[in-house]
Structures are given as structure tokens and as C-alpha cells.
């Protein structure tokens, strides 16, 4: 300690590089080594899901060459978007360390409500959609009230909600059983047909790289001006270029068939917005703090109840949105909507994508990555003409593996001091 103190004033290096006991990854090989160190200590990030995706795609492609064909992948993206939006809500609620088991029911109820209001009652479709989303948020507000006021575990309140909301859905559809949404309407077109024009998709695919580079470049400049270390320009360029090439290739490949569905664009837009909210706003910081240490967050002056309320409401509102999207995808609001595996697929997607079930860790992108894994399995098994019984078993096994990886990584993080 004394040694380092003596050496401190020598050159007055950058504000965050004064202590020479810390190794900082400077070159390319050092960056790789730092990444490997991080993985070894249990900070896996999205590595497991990418490895898993490669395995799943390789297996299914070898079993059925249609699997990776553009046509199938475009269908995959349509299917991803519906449950993916629900999984995004699950990410929200998992980050604060709670759970919502009723997202399936809420999504089914929202689709039923849109069917009744729009088709049966003749409301304008936009108003019907907004009403359904607002009703979803209201359900979340009720969970939050039960949680904040009575300390009712979210596990129980949402389990009760699962049944009650399913009952509401059946009640709404009671007389008819199911409501067909009219083909040719904008909502059904959005869910089944509408894809981006090629030009638009190429431009949109170029945006992330450019935005990423500009933002990081500006941050780096500000950091240098403030006397902090900053990544070299080369690394920023390489990353942005890599991202752009990857996205443009994906878009090119999908444009060989119909192209990128607008519905998937909406989903990705929601993911990006959520990622911004979680990482770059005070609200997101508070969400992660509440999930990590509720008492510490409370003592720091964070309104913990408000944070829980927003988490529950967002989760239910996104579940309702996902339900409306899946109604559009199926062109119907039926009694089966939102039942079966919707609930678990949404939760599994969030967890497989890397959001911890234990709270305090997670990212909006885990919904995107996780739902692609789940839908790949579903799509691959459908192509192999396997029954849903096998699909359930395999999806269940993948979920179990994901949770095991999560638990092991968590234990490793604790022992490596990364919590």
C-alpha cells in the first residue's frame, strides 16, 4: 500500500488510472483476456444464449435444410414478436426481483377485449387497442397495490390473477367462444403481412452502428476532456463496423424472401427503448437497485413502492400489447389465446436471454435473444412434424438448463466478488 502511495504523484495519470494495482485491458489481446476472465468468474452476459442458439440452429438445419431458409426465418420473426413483447415485460418485473405468472392470461384477455370492443362494439381499432393496454396496466396496478399495501408475494397475487383474468377472458368471449378479426384490416395485415420495403430495412440496419459510434465517440471525447480514460478510436470503429456488417447481412438474407416484418420492427423498437430506460435513466438505475438491495434503495431515498408499481404496470401493459399482437397474428381472439405455453415461454425467454430470476441483473436484449431461442426450438420441431407434447418437453428442458446456468453463474459471481 505504501509503495503505491509513493508512486501515485509521479505523473498524475488519468483520474481513473491512478492506482497501478489494477490491470486495464489496453490492447486487443488484453481485451479478449479480460472478456475470458469475466466469463470465468460467472459474468456470462449473453454468451450462453449465443452458444445455445448456434447449437440449436446447427442441429435443426442438419435435420431439416428448410429451417434456415429465409422464408422460415421471416415466419420466425413474425412469431417472435408476439411473445417477445410479453417477455420484455417479464424482464422488467424480474429485474426488481418479482414475477408475474399471469402474463399469458393478461395477453389473452387483451386480445379478447380488442375483439369485443373493435369487432362486436364497433369502436375504432386504435381506441380498442389503447383500452386493452390501459386495462392491462390497471391489472398491473392491482398487483402492485396488493404487493405494496399488503406485502402479498407477487408469486401468489399473480397466480390468483392468472385464474381471475382467464375467467374474465372466458366471460368476455362467453357467447361466441371466439371472435374473428377481419382479414384485410390494418391490424391483421400488421400481424401477418406487412414487411419493410428493402430500402427502409437497409437504412434501419445501418442506424445502430452509426448511432453507437457517434454516441460512443462523443462520450469518449467528454471522458478525455474530463481527465478520464477512454477507449481508443479504433476499437469503437471496429465494433460499429462489425455490428453494421452483421445487421446488413441479416437484412440482406431476409430480404431474399419477404423481408423484415414491421411487427418485428416494433418489437425491436420496444426493446431498444426499454434498454435505454433501464441503463440510461434514473428510473432504470432505481429498478436495478431495488432488485439488488431493496432496503439500500429505500434508504437512498428511492421511492421503492413507485418503482414496484411501474414494474408491475409495465409488465402487464406489455403483456396486453403482446396479446393484441398475437391476436393480429392469428386474426382471431379465442378462448385459447394466452393459455398453454405462452406464460412459460415468455418467462423462459427472459431467463434464457440472461435476466436473473433473483433480481437486480438483466437487460432488455435478453427478451430479444431469449425469444429467438424459444421460437427456434418451436419452429424447428414443427418443421420436423413433431407433436406439441415433445415441444413442451424440450422447451422445458431448455428452460431448466437456462436456470441451472443462471444459478451456477450467480454462485460463481458471488465467490469471485462480482455479485
The neighbouring-strand residues paired with 179 are 333
> Binding residues for another protein, how many (CB under 8 A)?
40
Q: 258 or 298, CB closer to another protein?
A: 298
C-alpha cell belonging to residue 18: 491512478
Q: 63 or 226, CB closer to another protein?
A: 226
Q: 21 or 149, CB closer to another protein?
A: 21
**CA distance from start to end of the chain:** 26
Per-residue binding letters, 80-119, with another protein (x by CB under 8 A)? ----------------------------------------
Query: Which one of 57-65, 149-157, 219-227, 260-268 is the stretch in contact with another protein (CB under 8 A)?
Result: 219-227
Q: 226 or 386, CB closer to another protein?
A: 226
Report in angstroms how near the CB of residue 295 gets to another protein at its nearest.
6
The residue within the footprint of another protein, chosen from 361, 380, 399, 405 (CB under 8 A), is: 361
Q: Does 414 bind another protein (CB under 8 A)?
A: yes
Pairing of strands 178-180, 332-334: antiparallel
The residue within the footprint of another protein, chosen from 176, 285, 341, 394 (CB under 8 A), is: 285
Q: Does 412 bind another protein (CB under 8 A)?
A: no
What distances in angstroms separate CA 272 from CA 85, 215, 239, 401, one per listed residue? 12, 15, 18, 27
What distances in angstroms separate CA 118 from CA 34, 262, 358, 366, one per listed residue? 55, 22, 40, 33
Closest to 311 measured CA to CA, from 196, 120, 148: 148
Q: Does 417 bind another protein (CB under 8 A)?
A: yes
Torsions phi, psi of 364, nearest 5?
Answer: -60, -30
Report in angstroms how near the CB of residue 246 gets to another protein at its nearest.
26
Q: Does 204 bind another protein (CB under 8 A)?
A: no
Report in angstroms how near the CB of residue 281 gets to another protein at its nearest.
6
Sequence-ordered list of residues with C-beta below 8 angstroms from that of 361, at least 6 positions apart, any chain: 95, 288, 291, 292, 354, 355
Report in angstroms how near the CB of residue 231 gets to another protein at its nearest.
12
Q: Does 227 bind another protein (CB under 8 A)?
A: yes
DSSP state letters, 17-48: ---TTS----SHHHHHHHHHHHHHTT--TTHH
Q: Does 292 bind another protein (CB under 8 A)?
A: yes
Q: Does 413 bind another protein (CB under 8 A)?
A: yes
DSSP state letters, 179-247: EEPPTTSHHHHHHHT-B--HHHHHHHHHHHHHHHHHHHHHHHHHHHHTT-----HHHHHHHHHHHHHHH
Q: Site residues (CB under 8 A) for another protein? A: 1, 15-16, 19, 21-22, 219, 222-223, 226-228, 280-283, 285-286, 288-289, 291-293, 295-303, 360-361, 413-414, 416-419
Amino acid at each position: 500500500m505504501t509503495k503505491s502511495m509513493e508512486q501515485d504523484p509521479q505523473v498524475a495519470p488519468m483520474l481513473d488510472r491512478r492506482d497501478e494495482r489494477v490491470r486495464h485491458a489496453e490492447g486487443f489481446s488484453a481485451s479478449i483476456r479480460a472478456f475470458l476472465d469475466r466469463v470465468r468468474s460467472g459474468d456470462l452476459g449473453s454468451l450462453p444464449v449465443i452458444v445455445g442458439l448456434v447449437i440449436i440452429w446447427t442441429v435443426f438445419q442438419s435435420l431439416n435444410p428448410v429451417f434456415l431458409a429465409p422464408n422460415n426465418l421471416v415466419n420466425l420473426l413474425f412469431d417472435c414478436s408476439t411473445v417477445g413483447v410479453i417477455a420484455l415485460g417479464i424482464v422488467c418485473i424480474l429485474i426488481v426481483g418479482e414475477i408475474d405468472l399471469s402474463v399469458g392470461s393478461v395477453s389473452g384477455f387483451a386480445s379478447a377485449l380488442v375483439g369485443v370492443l373493435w369487432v362486436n362494439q364497433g369502436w375504432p381499432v386504435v381506441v380498442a387497442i389503447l383500452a386493452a393496454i390501459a386495462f392491462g396496466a390497471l391489472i398491473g396496478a392491482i398487483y402492485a397495490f396488493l404487493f405494496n399495501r399488503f406485502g402479498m408475494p407477487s408469486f401468489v397475487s399473480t397466480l390468483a390473477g392468472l385464474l381471475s383474468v382467464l375467467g374474465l377472458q372466458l366471460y368476455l368471449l362467453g357467447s361466441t367462444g371466439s371472435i374473428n378479426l377481419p382479414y384485410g384490416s390494418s391490424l391483421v395485415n400488421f400481424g401477418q403481412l406487412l414487411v419493410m420495403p428493402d430500402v427502409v430495412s437497409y437504412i434501419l440496419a445501418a442506424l445502430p452502428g452509426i448511432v453507437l459510434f457517434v454516441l460512443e465517440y462523443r462520450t469518449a471525447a467528454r471522458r478525455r476532456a474530463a481527465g478520464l480514460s477512454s477507449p481508443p478510436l479504433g476499437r469503437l470503429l471496429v465494433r460499429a463496423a462489425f455490428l453494421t456488417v452483421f445487421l446488413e447481412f441479416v437484412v440482406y438474407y431476409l430480404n431474399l424472401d419477404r423481408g423484415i416484418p414491421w411487427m418485428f420492427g416494433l418489437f425491436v423498437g420496444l426493446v431498444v427503448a426499454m434498454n435505454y430506460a433501464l441503463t440510461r435513466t434514473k428510473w432504470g438505475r432505481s429498478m436495478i437497485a431495488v432488485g439488488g438491495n431493496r432496503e439500500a434503495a429505500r434508504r437512498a431515498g428511492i421511492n421503492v413502492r413507485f418503482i414496484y408499481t411501474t414494474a408491475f404496470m409495465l409488465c402487464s401493459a406489455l403483456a396486453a400489447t403482446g396479446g393484441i399482437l398475437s391476436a393480429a397474428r392469428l386474426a382471431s381472439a379465442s378462448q385459447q389465446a394466452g393459455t398453454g405455453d405462452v406464460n412459460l415461454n415468455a418467462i423462459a425467454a427472459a431467463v434464457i436471454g440472461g435476466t436473473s430470476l433473483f433480481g437486480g441483473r438483466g437487460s432488455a436484449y435478453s427478451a430479444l435473444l431469449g425469444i429467438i431461442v424459444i421460437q427456434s426450438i418451436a419452429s424447428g420441431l414443427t418443421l420436423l412434424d413433431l407433436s406439441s407434447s415433445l415441444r413442451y418437453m424440450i422447451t422445458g428442458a431448455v428452460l431448466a438448463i437456462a436456470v441451472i446456468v443462471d444459478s451456477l453463474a450467480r454462485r460463481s459471481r458471488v465467490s469471485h466478488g462480482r455479485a
